[in-house]
Amino acid sequence: MPSVTFRVFRGDKNGGELKDYTVQVEEGMVVLDAIHQIQAEQAPDLACRWNCKAGKCGSCGAEVNGKPTLMCMTRLDTIDTSKPVVVRPMKTFPVIRDLATDVKWNYEANKKIKPFTPAPNTDWIMMQEDVDRVQEFRKCIECFLCQNVCHVLREHEEKTGFIGPRLLVRTASLEMHPLDVENRLEMLKNEGGIGYCNITKCCTEVCPEHIHITDNAIIPLKERVVDEYYDPILSFFRRLFGSKKRLEAAGSAADD
Amino acid sequence: MESYTTHDYDVLVIGAGGAGLRAAIAAIEKGAKVGVVTKSLLGKAHTVMAEGGMAAALGNVRPEDNWKVHFRDTLKGGGMLNNWKMVMNYTKEAPERVRELERWGAVFDRTPDGRINQRNFGGHSYPRLAHVGDRTGLELIRTLQDHAVKLGIHAHMETTIYRLLTDAGRVVGALGFNRQTGEFLVFRTKAVVLATGGLGRIYQITSNSWECTGDGFALASLVGADLIDMEFIQFHPTGMVWPPSVMGILVTEGVRGEGGVLLNNQGKRFMFDNVPERYRGEFAESEEEAERWLKGDRNARRPPELLTRDVVARAIRREVAEGRGSPHGGVFLDIASRRPADYIKKKLPSMYHQFMKLGNLDITKEPMEVGPTCHYVMGGVRVDPDTQATNVPGLYAAGEVAGGLHGANRLGGNSLSDLIVFGNRAGAAAAEYAAQQTGSFQIDEAQVRAYIAEALAPFHNPQGENPFALMKELRSSMQKNAGIMREESELKAQLEILASLKKRAWNTSVSGGRAYNPGWHTALDIRLMVEIAEAVVLAALARKESRGGHARLDYPDPDPNFARINHVIRRASDGSLTVVAEPLPEMPEELRKIAEAKDLKELSEKVGA
């Protein structure tokens, strides 16, 4: 069995260093297997977060050779193992210890999003083609890799006025739900900070669920915000007749 | 002296998977102050891995379906050992609980007329599983998580419960620690709902995540709660077998539900030769008939790949044992030749992704290799079928940690709806119980101090054993001696191994600090895991027959004497476990008629189902 060197961050919020560990690898191994092997045999206190080991829970995000990824889905035969493999925690969030980061900011920011609010007296009939888009957004496993790479959150440390791609996707999943009647555009414009996003698509590239975050979620939401707040003609009609979404919802409720 | 912080709740829910979140929601709705403890982050519990769907007789695809048919299917699949009243409550309530999820924002796959779609699964007479592709568990947990957040849930994330605390025989709290910091927490509470999931991690090959260490069974048993039917462990027929690092990861039954077939290395669909007596006549008898069923012919019977999981898992094991297996010790599961690539990607997207990424295999072009993997425990903490109360006042259990609903074998899809039906019942009952409690609850301070000291002992034991090595020993020995096929000599040998492991579990050594230290966490997990492994082995020794998820090489057939009993695993005052055989609760006559109907025709004629 060939051996590979892993250069793993060891430390906490006060700092730390990269330490080398040698791992015997076998066919099909992923990065998380190597981390577990180090834990079991060399460094039992090496902290890393994981659950399902099958790309379904989104717990084991880290930066492998600088690339943000789920460790459980990164096979060693897809990376260069002739040199030491560098494994660091996600940069955007404070380190708890080693590879485990404190992601609770995401759970707090999520509370800004108004919950699902169905139209009253709906008959709950929804056609598949009308929920395909929402289902795409609901594939999100909350690995927060998109939040990690988003430069607004990563480099500018802007975490109070911007909710980041994950939560924009969640907002989109509610806004585009065929039966939802809540309006989240004001939140998006203000504390959601959708204007900060300048659609560089880093989030889309890193998404392990291949959600088209930028094209399907963020850009349509940006358009809605622009229509709502910056289009003078539409804005005039809306003041006269109420928003399109509310009219549609009232119409479908009346059809019962 | 070691300090700790104290939190006060009316109801403490341990676990934040489907059952825990649903229990929390129910208890909050009853006005209780609720705390939820979870070993992981919110939304990451093992429920997230559930794939195929949740069974509920909605009748959206086949209007003939109703709770009675689901009742019969569930009992039949469970070898008739299920608690009939739990099955009745479950099958009657499941449809409403599923519709409720939709009202809370879940977006299920749709029928052509825009309602919740339902798919076929093993042991279900009709397409019955509400689903979202093959990521139904994610949909369930996210919906419950969002709804619980809306109601203002208070979650203690990455927190492990070490022991339950009692006062005068009733549960009054729990001692735990924050995994991120290593700080201890005392929860003072009037009621506890255990929703800690399963125990798959006591086996080497399992579909279960690290969390499924059987905490709840052990926590309950250690304060005197009875366990039931712990010998019944479900080995899911289709786990990945290659490459080695992914061995055991689940391949959803949905693959077979969507038409996938099992083949041995001679290309033969061996399930046609493996239809047990009790299912004879209910399954297709030729490939031609199975083919018609797949194309939607309602006169054709279901393909035998959709037999119950216990039957399919043992058939696969036999093919492999007799030399007809695939190159890596499994059999072939083929969907590529049955369905177009686009359909497979739409209906089974995570399977496509999982095999592509982890196995370098395109399931739309090639067959998968699969074999049995420890997936679920049917047994669990014994509960009241209406309230989910245990025999210890103040202690409730719901979801996989509770026993009784599934009997000797669980049908696929019956778990997710179990979580929401009985999570709801447990949360409501615990809140009602808490509201009735008056007087003061005493936390035994000295007991708390003693528990904290023993939990920290591995830090001061430099000569102790490596907890990871101990864990490996436990898991490989259980796999070998108490796995899918069992016999007396091996089970007895395993009891001796466990006796030794039980001692060694208290002599581990850990290095480093208390903040986020997996070595320490493993050292504490193993203490509970050995307790629960012992309960499984003792019950397995006592059941001298083969039924459902318990198969004995030395007693290969079902025994009518064992058909009438449950095994209760009870802790004596000296701490030892005993197995007591108890007769099944008496089923009312009209339900017996449903359960024992020969086929669907008789069911509809005799009881109007």
| pLDDT for res A181 | 97
What DSSP state is assigned to residue A37? H
Instruction: Name chain B contacts of A126, Cβ cutoff 8 Å.
Output: 107, 110, 114
Say if A118 is an interface residue toward chain B (CB within 8 Å).
yes
Residues 83-112 on A with a CB inside 8 Å of B are 96-98, 100, 102-104, 107, 110-111
> Is residue A234 pLDDT above 80, yes or no?
no
Residues 520-579 on B with a CB inside 8 Å of A are 520, 522
What is the mean predicted confidence (pLDDT) over A216-245? 81
Domain count, chain B: 2
Q: Residue B446 — left, alpha, or beta (φ > 0 → left; ψ -120 to 50 → alpha)?
A: alpha
CATH number of A3-101: 3.10.20.30
Residue B336, domain member (yes or no): yes
Residue B299, domain member (yes or no): yes
| pLDDT for res A1 | 67
Is the fold of A3-101 the same as that of A104-254?
no
Helices of type H across B322-444: 341-347, 349-359, 414-436
Asked if B246 lies within 8 A of A53 by C-beta distance, the reply is: yes
**Cα–chain-centroid distance for residue A68?**
12
The string of pLDDT tens digits covering residues A130-154 is: 999 999 999 999 999 999 999 999 9
pLDDT band at A96 (very low <50, low <70, confident <90, very high): very high
Query: Residue B162 has which token pair?
Result: 């070490």
> Is residue A247 pLDDT above 50, yes or no?
no
How far apart are the CA of B87 and the nearest CA of chain A, in angstroms? 28
Q: Please list the residues that pair with B129 across neighbouring strands.
A: B55, B119
Q: Which one of B48, B105, B107 has the shortest CB-CB distance to A135?
A: B107
| pLDDT for res A180 | 97
> Is residue A199 pLDDT above 70, yes or no?
yes
Residue B495, domain member (yes or no): yes
Say if A1 is an interface residue toward chain B (CB within 8 Å).
no
Query: Residue B8 has which token pair?
Result: 């006060």
What does each C-alpha distance from B513 to A45, A50, B183 come to in angstroms?
A: 8, 20, 11
CA A70 – CA A210 distance, rounded (Å): 13
Catalytic choice (B72, B163, B201, B236): B236
Q: Which one of B49, B146, B510 has the shortest CB-CB distance to A116?
A: B146
Asked if B44 lies within 8 A of A59 by C-beta distance, the reply is: yes
How far apart are the CA of B95 and the nearest CA of chain A, in angstroms? 14
The string of pLDDT tens digits covering residues B45-94 is: 999 999 899 999 999 999 999 999 999 999 999 999 999 999 999 999 99
The string of pLDDT tens digits covering residues A37-90 is: 999 999 999 999 999 999 999 999 999 999 999 999 999 999 999 999 999 999
> Is residue B354 pLDDT above 60, yes or no?
yes
**Mean residue pLDDT across chain B:** 96
Closest CA relative to residue B401, chosen from B595, B159, B230: B230
Same domain, B251 and B363: yes
Helix, strand, coil % (nearest 5) of chain B? 40, 20, 40
The string of pLDDT tens digits covering residues B283-326 is: 999 999 999 999 999 899 999 999 999 999 999 999 999 999 99
pLDDT band at A256 (very low <50, low <70, confident <90, very high): very low
Task: Indicate whether this complex's ipTM tops 0.85.
Answer: yes
Closest CA relative to residue B431, chosen from B386, B397, B394: B394
Instruction: Compute how many other C-beta atoms are within 10 angstroms of the C-beta atom of residue B364.
Output: 17
Same domain, B367 and B245: yes
3-class DSSP state of B81: coil
Taking one residue from A and the other from B, the number of pairs with CB-CB distance under 8 angstroms is 163
| pLDDT for res A232 | 76
> Is residue A240 pLDDT above 80, yes or no?
no
Angle at B26 between CA B22 and CA B30, to 5 degrees: 165
Instruction: Compute how many other C-beta atoms are within 10 angstroms of the C-beta atom of residue B61.
Output: 18
CA A107 – CA A164 distance, rounded (Å): 12
Burial classification of residue B322, based on how many CB atoms lie within 10 Å of its CB (0-12 exposed, 13-18 middle, 19 or more buried): exposed
Residue B362: which CATH number? 3.90.700.10
| pLDDT for res A241 | 67
> Is residue B165 pLDDT above 60, yes or no?
yes
Reported in sequence order, the residue ranges of B316-405 that DSSP labels E, i.e. its strands, are 331-334, 368-377, 380-381, 395-397
* Domain stops at, among B328, B352, B372: B372
Residue in chain B closest to A28 (alpha carbons) equals B243
**Mean residue pLDDT across chain A:** 92
Residue B561: which CATH number? 1.20.58.100
> Is residue B35 pLDDT above 50, yes or no?
yes
* Domain stops at, among B372, B388, B406: B372
The dihedral through the CA atoms of B279, B281, B282, B285 has a sign that is positive
Closest CA relative to residue B155, chosen from B165, B146, B164: B146
What is the mean predicted confidence (pLDDT) over B231-250? 94
CA B344 – CA B335 distance, rounded (Å): 8
Residue B558, domain member (yes or no): yes
| pLDDT for res A41 | 95
| pLDDT for res B32 | 98
Which of the residue ranges A91-95, A226-230, B493-497, B586-590 would you say has the lowest mean pLDDT? A226-230
Class of domain A104-254: mainly alpha
Instruction: Tell me how long chain B is.
Output: 609
Q: What percent of chain B has pLDDT over 70?
A: 100
Give the CA radius of gyration of chain A. Answer: 22
Say if A66 is an interface residue toward chain B (CB within 8 Å).
no
Asked if A44 lies within 8 A of B511 by C-beta distance, the reply is: yes
CA A137 – CA B517 distance, rounded (Å): 34
* Domain stops at, among B339, B357, B372: B372
> Is residue A94 pLDDT above 90, yes or no?
yes
The string of pLDDT tens digits covering residues B574-583 is: 999 999 999 9
| pLDDT for res A183 | 96
Say if A78 is an interface residue toward chain B (CB within 8 Å).
no
The string of pLDDT tens digits covering residues B173-227 is: 999 999 999 999 999 999 999 999 999 999 999 999 999 999 999 999 999 999 9
Residue B456, domain member (yes or no): no
Residue B528, domain member (yes or no): yes
Domain range for residue B513? 462-583
| Contact between A168 and A140 (Cβ < 8 Å) | no
| Domain layout of chain A by residue ranges | 3-101, 104-254
The pairing of strands B34-37 and B154-156 is parallel
| pLDDT for res A251 | 41
| pLDDT for res B604 | 86
